[in-house]
Every structure is written in structure tokens, then in C-alpha cells.
Structure 1
Amino acid sequence: MRMPFRDVAAVAAAVLAPFLAALALLPLRTSVTPVNLALLLVVVVVAVSALGNRWAGALAALSAVAWFDFFHTEPYQSFDIRDRADVETAVLLLLVGLAVSQLAARARVMRSAAGTDAEHLERLHRTIRLMRSGGRTTPELIDRVRLELVDVLELRECRFTVAVEPAGSPPPRLQADGSVRVEGWIWDLDRQGWPDGEIELQAVAAGRVLGRFLMTPVPGAVPVPVEARLVAVDLAGLVAVVLDGAERLPQAGDPEHGTSRLGVDV
């Protein structure tokens, strides 16, 4: 498996950035205390951690200690440390660098998660606004949700059918809690990945199945987090609400106009 470019860049920065920073600080070696020089190197560790991940941050901390020792402790241009104070400074640099790298990496993950949550919320708001505007027909709304499902679940393709009973054995089903059930037992998505073939997502309103999205994941793709799967369930539920309302409107209208049944295949 190829390492993502961002991780490759972070590892390269973890190795090179502390070296370049320690080299740039050489003119200050005689006028700035080793402790202050170590603090400046911690800033580099934080920057690398914010760019990459916690492992890149840890590597940057080790690199910072090594080059601090090489350039800024006696004997210079050597990885030997003889002064006890320099040893303590190097150890503190390592501990602080490791701790700060973990905090910076965690903050980056939390920012990413917050951005993803906001994106999911916008998907739901966008679909609800489309429903309320009345500017789209039911087939157009279903197609819009189908495309949203392809995006949020990172699918290869997705189709919709109003047939609520599948022919033959039931396909794997994405449940309301974000899990996948395969013929009566829970599928371990984290360990096994997506099941082969199509996976159904039922559009349910008022306890009734009004249609099904049949989704085909990308072969070998890692399943998206459960938060994304729950958004998919909510999107299917919005379609079910529209279909349920479309069925009820003719029944509540003038009997002279008769009744009709909506059926849409996308």
C-alpha cells in the first residue's frame, strides 16, 4: 500500500526540518542558552506535527534532540554529551517534543473531524432545503440523494428502486445504527470491509419501507466511519418522508379525482 503524499511529506519534514533549524541557530550558539535553543526546536516539532501525524511528530522530536546534541552541546559536531545540564536539556527537549507532537496531532485530527461533521450537516440541510423549496420533482430529489450517497459513502455506484421486497435471498443491509447485517448476522466492517456485491439501504418512514437504495462500494475500499453511514441512513429517511407524503396527498384530496400510486425507479 502506497503511503499518502501528506504522510511522505511529513516524514521528510520530520527528518530535515529539525536539522535545518539547528543549523540555522548556529550563530546564536554563543549568545543564547541551550534551554532557549531547545525551546526554538520544540516550535519546529509542533509545526511538523501539525503538518503530519503523531508518528511524524515523534520522529521530529527525536531528530530535534539528535541535532541539538550535535550542534549545540559540547563537544560540538559530536553526538556525545558531557555536561549534566545539557543532558537534562536534551531529555526535556525529547519529552516536551513528544508530548507537544501528540497534542498537535490530536488537535489536527479534531479539526478534521469537526470539518467532516460540518460537511455532513450541510448535506442534510441541503437536502431538507431542497425538499421544502418544492422546486424539484420526487424523481429529481431521489437522484440528488442518490448522488449524495455515492459521495458520502464513497461508492462506485448507487441506484434506487421502489421494490421493497428483493427477489431471492436478501442482500447485505445497511442498518439504522450504521452497521451492516448479512443474512441475519452483523458484518464486521472494520475487519472485513464492505461485503461483496450490492448493499441495500431502505427508505423507511412511519415504520414502512417505501423503497431501497442499492449501493455498490468500490472493491477493496475501506468503509467510511460510522458517522458518514448514519448520515446516509438519514438521507434515505428523507426520501422515505417525501414518498410517504406523495402517497398520502391523493388520499386526502377530492374523491372525484381518484387516487394514484407513485412509483419511481432511478
Structure 2
Amino acid sequence: MNRKGLVAAALVVPPAACAALALARASFDNANAALVLAVVIVGVAAFGYRPAGLLAAASSAVWFDFFLTVPYHRLTINSRDDVETTILLVLIGVAVSELAIWGRRQQARASRHRGYLDGVLATSQAVAAGGSTQELIDQVSAQLTVVLRLDGARFVAGDNRTTAPRLNPDGTVTRGGRVLKVERDGLPTNAEIELPVQHAGRTRGRFLLTAATHISYPDLQQRQVAAALAGQLAHALAPQPH
């Protein structure tokens, strides 16, 4: 369901449910009615769209008060138990919304990491197949921009060391010997970042990574995947024994 549909459901379903429950309110207590509304709230909040979940909770609380608490058809509650039930409905909406959002974020993160590992595997297969070096460089460059969320990545051959910030094989980023806090501050945007392409202790070249138009915050695993991609390219560039 799209976001507009979720908002519409959050506005329409709670009053409809409360009106239906009000027709038979003499045959059950408000605790059971609250359970029905809790199901409605969970159904909306489980989609992980926070505004809709909160709106469903607030709407349920308001219409529960209007239709099912004494005095009826007024936004007034005289019973302490009904007050507690109304507050509980709101808390359920908040809790379920946050849990659903967290779950979706974890799912998206796992999916991204699976994609990163698939990229490393694809590069390994390209190296094993012995394809064109330039094609392999282009493939790794494209994957680096995705994994690290960069503006671009270009390969420069040779072993000349620069003073640029450096992405190391262990995933740390250093500048002038100082480790940068990438998770907090992001990758540097005022200079290209050097990613060495090394094999057997020798530097075969380096990627110069650019993140100039936005701040990127790749986590440690993403940075280690980037280093692994560079390592795959280094293996392909190393002289092969005859």
C-alpha cells in the first residue's frame, strides 16, 4: 500500500471500527474493544510509515473516546480505566511504528550488503575469466561509486604516493596519519580520497574517489568491501607467472 493509502486507512478505519463496535457496546467491555483497535493500529503501523502509524493511533484514541467511553458522543472520559486504555492505544501505535521502521531498515541494510558481496563475487569472476583490464577497471569503478555512494572513482596507474586522505585495506580512512571518524563526519569532500590497488606488497595503482557534492557515510563493512574490490583489481594487474 502506498503512503496516501496508509494515511487514508489511518483516518477512515478507526472511526468506522469504533462506530461498528458502538452498535454492540452493551455486550462487551471497552478492554475488548481496545484489542480490536489495537489490531487496526498494528495493521497500519506495520507498513513502517511513521506518520500513518501515529495517525492511526491518535485517530483510534479519539474515536474510542467519542464512541465507546462515558459520556458517549463527547470527547470526555470519566473513567480512569478508559483514560489508561486510550493512552495505551497511542503507545501501541508509537511502538509498532518504530519497530516496523527499524525492521525495514535492517532488511534494507541486509539487502545492500548482499548486493555489495555480489559485486565482489562478480569482480572475482571477471578476474578469473581474464577479461579486458580496462573493462575490469570500469567495473570496479562503477561498483565503488555504488558501495561508497560517491560522485565518481577514477583509476590512476603507478605507485606514486600522495598526501590525499587514504582508504586503507582494513576499512579505516586516514589523513596525515590521523584516523577519520567516517561514521560521524562522513568521507572528506574537500579532496579526492586515495584507495591503493595493492598486490603482494606492491602498489599497482590507486583509485581517486570523489565525494564532492554530498557527504557520504559508508560504514566499516562498506569500506572493507571497497578495499576488497581494489584488491581484486590488483590481482588482475599483477604480472602473471609463465
What is the TM-score normalised by the length of structure 2?
0.83
Q: Which residue of 1 aligns with 2:233?
A: 239
Q: Is 2:170 the counterpart of 1:174?
A: no
Q: Is 2:196 the counterpart of 1:202?
A: yes
Q: Which residue of 2 aligns with 1:145?
A: 140
Q: Distance in 2 between matches of 1:84 and 1:61?
A: 19
Letter in 1 for 2:171: G
Q: Is 2:210 the counterpart of 1:216?
A: yes
TM-superposition CA deviations, 1:98-123 (whole Å, max 9, x none): 33333322222221122112111211
Q: Measured at CA, do residues 31 and 154 of structure 1 come closer, stay the same or move farther in structure 2, by a change above 3 Å?
A: same
Q: Which residue of 2 aligns with 1:156?
A: 151
Which of 113, 120, 136 is matched with 1:124 structurally?
A: 120
1:68 Cα offset (Å) = 2.4
Letter in 1 for 2:13: A
Conserved 8 A contact 1:155-1:216: yes
Stretches of structure 1 that go unaligned for 5 or more consecutive residues are: 1-5, 254-266
Conserved 8 A contact 1:172-1:198: yes
What is the TM-score normalised by the length of structure 1?
0.76
Which of 180, 183, 191 is matched with 1:187 structurally?
A: 180
Which of 27, 47, 51 is matched with 1:51 structurally?
A: 47
Conserved 8 A contact 2:149-2:216: no
Q: Which residue of 2 aligns with 1:258?
A: none
Q: Distance in 2 between matches of 1:68 and 1:177?
A: 56
Q: Distance in 2 between matches of 1:82 and 1:175?
A: 65
Letter in 2 for 1:198: E
Q: Distance in 1 between matches of 2:40 and 2:216?
A: 33
Q: Distance in 1 between matches of 2:192 and 2:207?
A: 9
Q: Measured at CA, do residues 57 and 214 of structure 1 come closer, stay the same or move farther in structure 2, by a change above 3 Å?
A: same
1:46 Cα offset (Å) = 2.9
How do 1:110-121 and structure 2 match up within 5 A? Answer: 110-121=106-117
Q: Which residue of 2 aligns with 1:263?
A: none
Letter in 2 for 1:228: Q
Q: Distance in 2 between matches of 1:224 and 1:141?
A: 23
Conserved 8 A contact 1:154-1:218: no
How do 1:15-164 and structure 2 match up within 5 A? Answer: 17-25=9-17, 26-31=19-24, 33=28, 34-52=30-48, 57-58=53-54, 60-134=56-130, 136-164=131-159
Q: Distance in 2 between matches of 1:176 and 1:58?
A: 44
Q: Measured at CA, do residues 210 and 190 of structure 1 come closer, stay the same or move farther in structure 2, by a change above 3 Å?
A: same
1:56 Cα offset (Å) = 6.2
Give the percent of matched residue pairs that are identical in Structure 1 and Structure 2. 38
1:126 Cα offset (Å) = 1.5
Partner of 1:51, secondary structure, is coil
Q: Which residue of 2 aligns with 1:230?
A: 224
Q: Distance in 2 between matches of 1:222 and 1:68?
A: 46
Q: Measured at CA, do residues 110 and 190 of structure 1 come closer, stay the same or move farther in structure 2, by a change above 3 Å?
A: closer
Say what the alpha-carbon RMSD is for the aligned residues: 2.7
Q: Distance in 2 between matches of 1:235 and 1:202?
A: 11
Q: Distance in 2 between matches of 1:58 and 1:24?
A: 17
Conserved 8 A contact 1:19-1:67: no
1:59 Cα offset (Å) = 5.7
TM-superposition CA deviations, 1:165-190 (whole Å, max 9, x none): 14xx5101112232321111122223
